[in-house]
Structures are given as structure tokens and as C-alpha cells.
Structure 1
């Protein structure tokens, strides 16, 4: 067995003082031995890495005054800025970038600090990095897009923000042709998979190199719930990859009898899906009128899985969620409704009402004004604008 990497005692003492936030001791050690400034431990972490992760601003200030290698990578390829992001240290992020850290520094695979913010679902860090000059769109990159990385977190707010705040296409591809849907399935993030499918992800998209579809990946790497969801949303169990193998073939080879049973069930032909969706919508309307909002939302969800391009289904589910006080879910449905039918005032009513209840008064006013461009006398939008404006005046 090879000897473990040994770190010189003076380096251990210095880095220990930095980790312990002992600024004076760290400074004294540097005065005695300036070469310690860029020294690293066994993982390639320097003093700047530790101070960044800890959000230790006094330590960062002391170190940066001595001009360390500000973008030095540890052995994982991460500079101190990434460590500040991983520690969710907003002040340290700002401090490092203002001191000269490259906000768009890429690793060998194209990862930047903002990719890590997305992977953690940390929107505050992500927005700060954008404000400081970070790129947003990473298309056909080895690293994948921010939406790919948001799917690692499983954070619906982050994923929704990628789609509707930062306008990243739901079917954006990485270097290999994989979309965020593949990532969400592989990471076993069921809610993310469902959200992506409902908001326009293609369940039959193909990776060009090998012909793999999301259903192939699901059969290999996930559970029965993912299979059902993809099939409900129109995934083709007979799609062949470049080796002429279908998801059914994968299930047979893997001896996954429960998957095989699900894959072999008769499914609605494409031309009948819209009619079946209407039937579910009508059931939803019926139970909604009876005040059964949870049941109504479930019926509207079934309709959406059959037809994710019908704005009415999202509008109806939005108000069902709203009446359950599931305001975040209502908000994303309202945005999808507007995306599908931007000239329909009802989508703006749903969005504005949700923003009002969430106390996003400025957003509610803006939403109401957008909707009033299409229906200047809409009573609901006028009421939302008036109430939100009154709150802003009191603030």
C-alpha cells in the first residue's frame, strides 16, 4: 500500500487556523511564511476555499489583500467561488467576484458556479451570480444547462424558475442530446419528471447517438411509477433505439415483470387522447362545483397528462390548487396557462390572484396590467390591480 499523502505541519497548522476562523493567528503564520498563502491540503483545498465555504469575510479580506490565486481549483476542479456557492454564502460570493474571481470560470466539463447553485435549488445564489455577470444559457455543453442541473435538486421552484423566469427551453439538450427530462428520471426525482412533462417536455425525445428515449432510461433506472407517468403522458413503449431494442425489450432482459405488465397494457391511440382529456376535465368541473377541490385537481391532472397543451386544463387546476391554498402549484399552472394562451385574460387572473395572496404586490399589478391589455374591462383583473396597488401605497 502506498503511503498516504502527508501535509507539512506548517501547512496543517495554517489551514486549521483558517478553518477555525482565527484571522489573527492565520495572519501571523502568513507573515512568518508567505508561501502558505496558496498551500493546499490533500484534497487541493486552499485557505481561500475554506474561507469561502465558511463565508468568513474577515478571513477572505485578509487573504485577498495578499493576492492569492483567486481562481485556484481544488482536485475536484472547483475554485473558491464554487465553495462559496456550495456553502450558500451570499456575501462571500459577492466579495469574491468583486475581488476578481471569474464568475464564468468553467471546469473541464463546462461547469460554472451557477451550475452548482442550480443543482442545490438555491435561487438566491443563482440570481446573485446572474446579477454579477454569470451566463444563463448553456446549450449543447458537456455540463448541460442550468435546467439539467436544477433537476438534480428536485426543487420545483428552481425548475419552474428556469422555465418561466430565465426562459430556458424545457427540451434544451446537453452535448449528447439529453434533455432535462432524462436527468430528472436518472436522478429519480418523480415530482420533477411530472412537472417537466406537464410543462412541455417531450416524452419521446431521442438521444441521437444511441436512440435512447426517456422510457428506455426509466425502465433501466427507475420504478414503476415513472413508467406509468411516462406512458400516461404519451411515451411510446415500442420506440426502438439504435440496437432495435424497445423499452419492452429492456424490461424482458432485466426480468422486470411488473414493468413489462405496465408496458404491455393497451394505451389510448394518439387521436383519442384529446377526447379522453375532455372527459376528465368534465369530471373535474363536476366535483369542483361540489367543492371537492382535491378531487378536481386530480381529474385536471389526468387531463393534462393526456393533453399538456390545453390552457383551460391548467387554468382549472390552478384555481383548484388555489382553493386548497397550494399557491405555488397554482402559480406554475397559471404561468403555463399564459404560455399556452397569452391573449386569454383568465391566465392573468389566476397568476395575479396567486401573487396577491403571496404578497407579491408589484408583480400582481404588472400581471393585471398585462391581462388588461387583452380585456380592459375585466372586473377580476381590475380588482386585483386595485387591491395590490393599495397594499403598495401602504408599504
Structure 2
């Protein structure tokens, strides 16, 4: 199956992106990717009737599913059979068929984002696809767009979800990450900017550790993203659940640019590491160097 060149990508290596797309496709549970001939036969056997021939609400092709729970619409999207996809969407406007989930709980909308087909994303949303449905990792279609760095799909989803954009932007996945967290973790600066401009809470804390996007940017040692978040108004004195500010996460790390960006902005009383009765997980959270004197030396010579 030919993999089309992907458009609207950013801050990402194309070869690794294509590999990730294939990995995500396989994550859908569609074993058909290993045997495309079988799926081609499915398309031949389950032909969608033309609109003028359709007189019933029930259509047999809507009930056809693979052993992985994929509908004919899922398969057509995966195989980029655009004509079949558009025909099924046209015949199923505002029908529950558009929101059927496979065994990975992926809808057609999820798969359209994974395969980087923004035009199909737009068609699905306009026909009644639900953007808030989550897969078995708790990811909505917008989560996936932010995780993959797909500005094209991101733009289409947000433009079609104006009425409940706040919910779409803020809902966390099962790891506690919202769209801003995922864009930050993966280093997509342009997406981070767009999310904040659309109203995403820049200081939202992930429920597991209480880290904000700025904590994550420091933890990932991404100076460009740190600078971007600071320019957008991220709160430098926000503490995670262990009592650590983003500046504390620079201890034991070598990026002077990040350290300098945060030092002057952090409140004086929050620059030193807090006296902690924490367990080992807090120390792992900071990833301190084994040299116990490093932190004190660094504080004395910021």
C-alpha cells in the first residue's frame, strides 16, 4: 500500500514520521495492513450503493466488521480509498455509523488523523462525527493531531469545533495529558502557540505529577519551547505536586540557556531546592547528578 507524502507537518523528521504513521496504523488493530488483497476483495464484495438507489435506513455495508472491529469506513480510510470514504460519509450524515469504534476504540475520525487526511477529517466532522470520542488510551482525534504534530488536522478539527472548543482543548487522556501537554512533550512549538491562542490553559497541571507545560519543556530540555511558553505568559513560580518549580528542574542538567531563562524570572525564595521529606520518586523526578554538591555550587554560581 502506497504511503502518501504527508502535508502540514512541522518540527519533525519525515522518515521517522512515516514510521510512526505506520506504527499508529498497526495500533488500530487492522491486520489487513499485512494482507491488502483481502481488503480489496472486501471493497469489491461490499459495494456501496449510489445515493439515488438508497431508500432504506438500514444498509448491509454498515454492519460489516473485521475481527478487529473495523468497519468498511475504517478500512477505506486506512487504504486511502477516498471515493469509497466520501460515498459512505454522504450516505451516513448524522448516522451513528460514523462514530463506530473498533477494538482499539478508534473511530473513522481517529484514523483520518492518523493517516493524515485533513480533507476527510473535515468531511467527517461536517457530517456529524463526534470529536470528543476517545480511543483506548483516552485520546480524542485532537489529542492525536497534537501528539503527531499535524497542524493541518489540528486546524480542521478546531475550526469545526468552535461551539465546544474549550472542552476539546482541555479534556485529558488516560495519562492525564491534555492537548497542550502532548504538543509540549513532542516539541511542537507552533501547535503550542496555536493552542494557547485558542484558549488552552497554559498553566494546566497534569493530574499525575502536577507538571505544567513549562515543567515538561524544562524536563525535555527544549530551550525554544521554554522561551515560547515564557513569552506566552507561563507561570514560572507554579509548583508541581512535589513542590518543584520549572527552575528546580534545571538542577543537575547542562542546558545553560534554559537555566538563564528561568533564573531571573523565578521568585528569589523559590530558587533553592525545597527542603524535602520526599521519597525517592521526587529525586528521580529531578534527575539530579550523583554529586551532592552540584546543586549548592550551581545555586552559588547561577
* TM-score under structure 2 length normalisation: 0.59
Structure 1, residues 8-52: CA drift from partner, whole Å, max 9, x if none? Answer: xxxxxxxxxxx79xxxxxxxxxxxxxxxxxxx9796646454x3x
- 2:46 aligned to which of 64, 75, 91: 64
Look up the match of 1:215.
Answer: 214
Give the stretch that moved more between structures: 111-120 or 87-96: 87-96
CA contact (8 A) 1:185 1:222 kept: no
CA contact (8 A) 2:70 2:102 kept: yes
Matches for 1:1-40 after TM superposition, within 5 Å: none
- Compared with structure 1, are the counterparts of its residues 235 and 153 closer, same or farther at alpha carbon in structure 2 (3 Å cutoff)? same
Q: Give, in whole Å, the separation in 1 of the partners of 2:135 and 2:207.
A: 13
Structure 1, residues 347-392: CA drift from partner, whole Å, max 9, x if none? Answer: xxxxxxxxxxxxxxxxxxxxxxxxxxxxxxxxxxxxxxxxxxxxxx
SS for the counterpart of 2:98 is coil
Look up the match of 1:349.
Answer: none
Q: Structure 1: any 5+ residue segments left out of the alignment?
A: 1-18, 21-39, 52-58, 269-395
1:91 is the counterpart of 2:83? yes
Q: What is the deviation of 1:263?
A: 1.5
- Compared with structure 1, are the counterparts of its residues 87 and 190 closer, same or farther at alpha carbon in structure 2 (3 Å cutoff)? farther
Aligned-pair RMSD on alpha carbons? 3.8
Look up the match of 1:172.
Answer: 170
Q: Give, in whole Å, the separation in 1 of the partners of 2:110 and 2:103.
A: 13
Q: Give, in whole Å, the separation in 2 of the partners of 1:133 and 1:202.
A: 27
Look up the match of 1:130.
Answer: 125
Q: What is the deviation of 1:126?
A: 1.3
Q: Give, in whole Å, the separation in 1 of the partners of 2:73 and 2:220.
A: 33
- 1:81 aligned to which of 67, 73, 80: 73
Q: Give, in whole Å, the separation in 2 of the partners of 1:154 and 1:182.
A: 12
Give the stretch that moved more between structures: 250-259 or 91-100: 91-100
Structure 1, residues 213-260: CA drift from partner, whole Å, max 9, x if none? Answer: 111211223521100011111212332222223222222244433322
- Compared with structure 1, are the counterparts of its residues 112 and 199 closer, same or farther at alpha carbon in structure 2 (3 Å cutoff)? same
Matches for 1:38-53 after TM superposition, within 5 Å: 45=35, 47-49=37-39, 51=40
- Compared with structure 1, are the counterparts of its residues 133 and 73 closer, same or farther at alpha carbon in structure 2 (3 Å cutoff)? farther
Q: Give, in whole Å, the separation in 2 of the partners of 1:122 and 1:152.
A: 16
CA contact (8 A) 2:106 2:134 kept: no
Look up the match of 1:233.
Answer: 232
**Structure ranking higher in helix proportion:** 1
Structure 1, residues 58-107: CA drift from partner, whole Å, max 9, x if none? Answer: x5553327x89832155xx7655334324443212245666999432324
Look up the match of 1:118.
Answer: 113
SS for the counterpart of 1:158 is helix
| Aligned residue-pair number | 220
CA contact (8 A) 2:125 2:131 kept: yes
* TM-score under structure 1 length normalisation: 0.46
CA contact (8 A) 2:99 2:130 kept: yes
Look up the match of 1:104.
Answer: 99
Q: Give, in whole Å, the separation in 2 of the partners of 1:140 and 1:207.
A: 19
CA contact (8 A) 1:154 1:189 kept: yes
- Compared with structure 1, are the counterparts of its residues 96 and 106 closer, same or farther at alpha carbon in structure 2 (3 Å cutoff)? same
Higher RCO, Cα 8 Å, sep 6+: 2
